[in-house]
Structure 1
Amino acid sequence: QREGLWVFVCFSSISALSNPHLACFICCVLFLTEVLMNTKTETSDLKWTIYSRTKPEWEEVSGLDEENNSVRTYQICQTDGSSSHWLRSKLIERRDASQVYVELRFTMIECSSRNTHHRSCKETFNLFYYQSDADDATATHPAWMENPYVKVDTVAADFLLRKGGEKKFNVKTLRLGPLTKRGFYLAFQAQGACMALLSVRVFFKKCPALTRSLSTFPETVPRSLVQEAVGRCVENAAQPGPRSRPPKMFCGEDGQWVEQPSTTCTCLPGYEASQGELECKACPAGHFKLDSGSGPCSPCPESSHTGETGTASCVCRPGFYRAPTDSLDTPCTRPPSAPRDLFPQINATSLTLEWSEPLYSGGRSDLTYSVECRVCVSPSGPCSQCGEGVSYRPAQRALQGRRVSVWGLRPHTSYTFTVLALNEVSQLSTQGPAGESINITTGRNVPVLVSGIRKSTATESSLTLHWAVPAQPHYSILQYQLRYCEKERGTEEHWCRYKESESNQVVLSDLRRATQYEVQVRARTSAGYSSFSPATSFRTLPDEDDSSSPLLVTGVLIAMGMLLLITVIGIAIYCIRKQNRLKDPELSDKNAQYLMGQGIKVYIDPFTYEDPNEAVREFAKEIDVSCVKIEEVIGAGEFGEVCRGRLRIPGKKENYVAIKTLKGGYTDKQRRDFLSEASIMGQFQHPNIIHLEGIITASCPVMIITEFMENGALDSFLRLNDGQFTPIQLVGMLRGIASGMKYLSEMSYVHRDLAARNILVNSNLVCKVSDFGLSRFLQENSSDPTYTSSLGGKIPIRWTAPEAIAFRKFTSASDVWSYGIVMWEVMSFGERPYWDMSNQDVINAIEQDYRLPPPPECPTHLHQLMLDCWQKERTARPRFANIVSALDKLIRNPASLKITAQDGAGPSHPLLDQRSPPTPSSCSSMGEWLRAIKMERYEQSFLQAGYTSTQLLAHLNTEDLLRLGVTLAGHQKKIMSSIQALRIQNKSPSNILY
């Protein structure tokens, strides 16, 4: 294509297999280059523009390349390195490229081999380019200087020519871009070099047309780091629906396709994928493929065939059929053969027929039987269909068994009965169903007529009937038979039932309430059954006049009694449990866990699964990598980078997300530990718990996707906004954290690492608990100073309850202790708990009942709540439900937040340390003092204003701070508090407490 070149970069490897033979594997990476200019192919003078303020020294000459082909070259050998000598090409059209590559072949003479001043000699030259929409360059335009030209690079030689040395030429490839105009000029600047420019080749890379995964992608020119290319399905392939996304693939800037294509193309019915999913091939004759998809063609089912290629189904052979309910991939079948061995039993005017199953069922399992009856005037006379007076038990058609009883036949009459064997394809056969017939003649009937059926009693489900015994001079009556049918459903055989009785009275049971029935009766003598009597109608209770039922009233009374009993039992259980909870909080927690086991959702530790990956699949949703777009890296976690990106799930609104990635080279254990956080987080659904969007494990890198919290970690956010929030706003943040922890404690989950650094804040100042389960996996060689070894593990000493430090006893009560530290962090705007005390000093101080003092301007009620959370006995600490209630009361009564530690009563615990802020006089320099009060960001401003000594700060006021750039009220307050301590110290040093 044009002057394009196909480039193959091949790698080979040989590996020994289990057999003695060796296998050779070759992998080729294919990309395409399109040449925009190549001076080696020019046959005439190049006539490039030469410029120099002195005598031009660039010279176009003819020479021979390494293959002894004649080429046009430019050479220069300067004697004065103080002047610039320029060489500019003609306009090079960029075509579709946004960035191009320039391959330079040149030679350069070593300075030591030249007779010139060493300082003026150079072994480099510069490459520039200039973009233009028209070929408008002249000898003076554009100006011969770095601007408007854009510098690409200073090119140095790898091989220098020297006297008596080997002659080698240099090859350098440089990249230009981004290009936006029609074309560009190349410019070469020499400043003291002695060189020959042998050839210049300008080209750009593009990804060649590609077929993969049943999708074709066109030749694509990368216009950025990664260029998206939209493809289409190959011939005889399609996507599953009109809303399916077209195939997509990405072309890298190096002209190579990256990643696998995202495609849903599948072969059409009658076609299967071949040649490694490069094409869809028609199914051969005798094969079919019913649906579109990735499956192969299948041989035609039994008793079917096809003589064509590319068919979606096979047709049945002659005499074989498919039922309307059969799918096209099922075998063809045929009707069954006729039933065998019909055996009749005649009882006067009734008949029982039995038979054997057919020899051939037709290859189906839906075999049924049907009985046809024809009555004949004489054995040799014409026959007609039997009338409605003949009944069949259990039915005339769709019989599953091989026995039927026929009633209501005429006496001394010839009948022909045919039993047909049927299945679902019998109606499709041109020959009709196969049957076996038999002729019978009934006996003499006795005209015993029964009449006068009457109702004795009736209930909602039964009728008691009686009738008069008919006079019978010749035969005694052996039995009566009743036939009763629901009048609303008709008198068809399917809705009628029969009952026999030895006397002239019968009870019909299992009837429908308030339903009318039609009843007939007939008598049986030794000569057989007589005809049925005329139908008489009867109705079960209640009839239209009934307004109430004793049973209904009784049922209502019983239901009300049961409801009252359940209510009394429930109240008693509630009172007993409430009394036990007040006596023993530990028992209350156990009862709560028991109730959770009875139906309330409880946290499940993913490491209790035999296969931790099963927990990941159960609690975390897999997201397609094409739905996630990473925009920037915002931090680093224990397992890899943390990024900000966008998540766009089809059918949902695009939103920002945080993306945790697992760095390469991980072990199986690191992967399990990384995904365990998703297994934990996926079980929680609460507005103050960080929300898990899903995970990506099907591609690299492995990712955890969570909601994006714009303001980051709570501790750094508070330090950045020191003094900018009111107490009611801070209490609102604390209330959100407590609500999230209440939810976790009710789920029986212990956080173990609750701290302000593990609380995230969104743009609406909503605080959410995050970082689940990671603290338990910290390694012994962790360099994080926050976590210190204690009894075989790493724990955050400053935030951890005493029993957890000493005995590794982590409970919801130890989380309450940590929450008290978080309260102190929030009210001190991110101050480090226990300041610069060592971890061992913190442990010793807590054992001696030391507790943190209230932060500046901290409401007394809040500090009292902190002290309650720091009770030494864990059973004495409040639960998170109590903390939420206490904070709600403070929010509803804002006036209580105005009472600070200086105004209200002192805390219930002795405070061993009431630290004053560091004074300037206690620090050796201005920078040391500002760092001590966490205000080091203003050090440069103080020094530039002339405050080089801490003694100059005694008369500093708020207006001076504004001029120094200290505009935040909280920062002004912290600086002025330290300076006020300096003033007091200057008057009376004994007043300062350390």
Structure 2
Amino acid sequence: MDYSRIKRTLFVSVFMNFVFISLQKKQEVLLDMVASGAELGWLTSPVEHGWEIGQRAVNGSLLYNYYICNVEEREQDNWLRTTFIQRNPTASRVFVELQFVVRDCNSFNVDSLTCKETFNLYASEADADIGTAFRKGQFRKVATIAPDEISSLGEMKMNIETKVVDNLSHKGFYLAFQDIGACVAIYSVRVYYKTCPATVKSLAKFPETVAGGENQALREVTGSCVSNAVSEDQPRIYCTTDGEWVVPMSQCQCIPGFEAMNDACQECQPGFFKPSVSSETCKPCPENTQPSGSGAISCTCKDGFYRAPEDPETADCSGLPSAPQDLVATTAQTSIGRLQLSWKPSADTGGRSDIRYTVVCERCEGRACQPCGEKVRFDPSNTDLKETRVTVSDLEPYLNYTFTVEARSGVSQFSNKRATNSIITALPYTSPIKVTAMYVVDRSSTSLSLQWSVSHLSKPVATRYELMFRKKENDEEITGKVTTYTVLVLEKNSVQISDLSPSTVYLFKVQALSPEGNPGSYSLEKEFSTLPEASQKTGNTAVILGAVIGGGVMLFIVVVVLLLRKRRRNSHTRRGPEDTYFSSPDQLKPLKTYVDPHTYEDPNTAVLKFASEIHPSHITKQKVIGAGEFGEVYRGILKVSSRKETAVAIKTLKPGYTEKQRQDFLSEASIMGQFSHQNIIRLEGVVTKFKHAMIITEYMENGALDKYLKDHDGEMSSFQLVGMLRGIAAGMKYLSDMSYVHRDLAARNILVNSNLECKVSDFGLSRVLEDDPEGTYTTSGGKIPIRWTAPEAIAYRKFTSASDVWSFGIVMWEVMAFGERPYWDMSNHEVMKAINEAFRLPAPMDCPSAVYQLMLQCWLQDRSKRPRFGDIVSIIDKLLKSPDSLKAIADFDPRVSIRLPSTSGSDGSPFRSVAEWLESIKMSQYSENFSKAGIIGMEQVLQMKSEDIHNIGVHLPGHLKRIAYSILGLKDQTSTLSVFAV
């Protein structure tokens, strides 16, 4: 067979349909065989009968290729070496793209051929061009090149392969192609490395960066803010091995007077302003302000208009309120010394809603007036009134009073003008004094001592009383006989009447006389009797004895009732405490469906239906343990007669609440009262019928789960942590079975008791997240905790049990990371963008692979594919029953998983001290340990091994590993991982 003809055919026919691939990503080319368009001067070995060079003109360009087809000869070892390829010092990984044709060995009709259909790619590094010196032993094999399609005679098929040459460290390198008996032609060799192109993201500029190699999958790059933009932290971003930017952090924001536009900060236009560093756009100047110039940070108020000190620069300027209208004083006919002032609100509020009223009282005798002083009382107050009425009491009759009502707002302090309305009124002493009660103080067989009270509130000048009494005749109702009254005029409200008959009933009535002698109305006639003469003492003894006997009978009845109730409770079967981790979910299956308390027309009805009322006297507050949106939270004791003392948590409603706040506060009790599960916080009851509303729940000694985990970092095994997750999952399964969606499942809303049993709490999403002001993302319809919320719930507000499953996956990550903040210091916007680009949180340190795989299942984009809580409980149960399944650890990258700082400082470390480094990894408590051990410089830290860390006093496994992995990150050499194995 004519192999020379086969060779020519091999490379000539392919050029007719030869197409080069267009580049889609940023690549820096080091060698391009086709683009060179000239002799490449590559070295062949052997020189004779080895690789040959061919050429052909295509579209006016001369294209070269290398080919070989020594299939008729045995033991081929033909080498083709490139010229020296200069390497970018930062590019440790390059890509070799080959376009080639390989002939099918079956197409050769010759016996005993040692034909091959593959060839090999080799590489050799050097710091200088060695020219024609060629030694095979200096090359290391990169890959065996095998075609996807082989060509037959007359039908040539082009193959494209890309191989990676990694871990390059010298100034340059050579590539070599070894043929061991194939019929192959190489048409194109492109050598390039990938870069992340220079870009601007979130107003931060990042330079073009060479993509990392296999030892650095994500290369952290620091950037700088564009002109007129600032950031609290230096902007950072990661460059992937594919030349793509991912996970930007520390967003830049435009300075005051500038807004973001087209990746730059531009001045606000005239008539617009921006007062602070933010990502907001410039806003038009508010009402009643003067037009601003370019780049304004505020708009000044017009004359006669002001802003209150607490008003933001974005608020409208306000005018002064007008005086209150239609001031009226009304005297109460049934009360002495009291009147009510009422008025209509100011017609002009000046554009403000914080109008308050102040009432000033003056008393006038003749022409002399003076302040009323503290003697006069105002209800509710005479200052800072929101309502347009006030009750004034303890006024004196026959005096003229001047009441002045002033309207004030937050800007009244900036002007001397006062918005007042006054009224003069006299308080006559026209209300009669009425006797309200008469009773016996003491009695004997011949005397009665009486006393009575009156209705007036102020002290009259000289009140006298007229008392009338007579003996009651037995037949007066039949005969109509009239008995003459005895009349006494008294100077005080008590009297002792003597010389009466024993065992006789007397009728009494009394009236009060005004200082002028005008009588008031008589009291109701009352009957009082004298004691029998001989049995006065006996009567007293009988009364006492009767009281003792009656009290004994009542005590006996109470004891019997309590014993019956206790016996009834003891007759109920009691289930013993179930195992925290392995209780049967079937025993805890809900028998009802959750009812939304907001569906009730009267929310108070829901509270009464689902929660027990507790009297405040049964509750003792001990100390404050926290604060919520509605008020303080106390630890306390609940003592009910039928139960022993119980430690409880007491949520209170702070004073000054509105009715809506009270309903929102109690709605959580209406929700909790419907649940009964060992992993759901238990509601003891509520206080609603008294002034201070309270919610009483069981007390959880170890508090919130996230804080507990941070305080015990590294102190618990994976088995214990997964056991805690089992309890949370069981509680969420119960809620899901009741068709209840939590919407705010996070470690901060899980409480832990003394047995490390976890219970779901905090039902309802209306609260502000106290531990993190940036923890929520405001949308139409409320606030969403972005870091814990499923993407469909953020985008479309679709909260379902599946979105709770997503949140449970985040809780799993928090637990296995000992309370680490999800997504670290990324902003809400960055978190949403990363999730939508398929980024998921990496496995925490020492996290079992099976647990991390369950997390990833919870974070599936398609909510229908996520596991249900019943499935999650079953999976966790299997893991706990087979502890060996938790031994396989998920892959862990310390530079990503614990967010270690950049290590690209000029001296190999950006830290100025050991204390600064320890603070960055939240291990400041060991600063003294390092100092006592004489480790005062970062160069000493970089030399430490696992046993060194242990010897200075770091004994907790979690802390030991965190410090060790941080040192590993500083060294940036994963090959030293074994040094820090714990």
Instruction: Tell me, yes or no, whether TM beats 0.5.
Output: no
TM (norm. structure 1) is 0.41
Structure with larger RCO (C-alpha < 8 A, sep 6+): 2
Larger C-alpha radius of gyration, 1 or 2?
Answer: 1
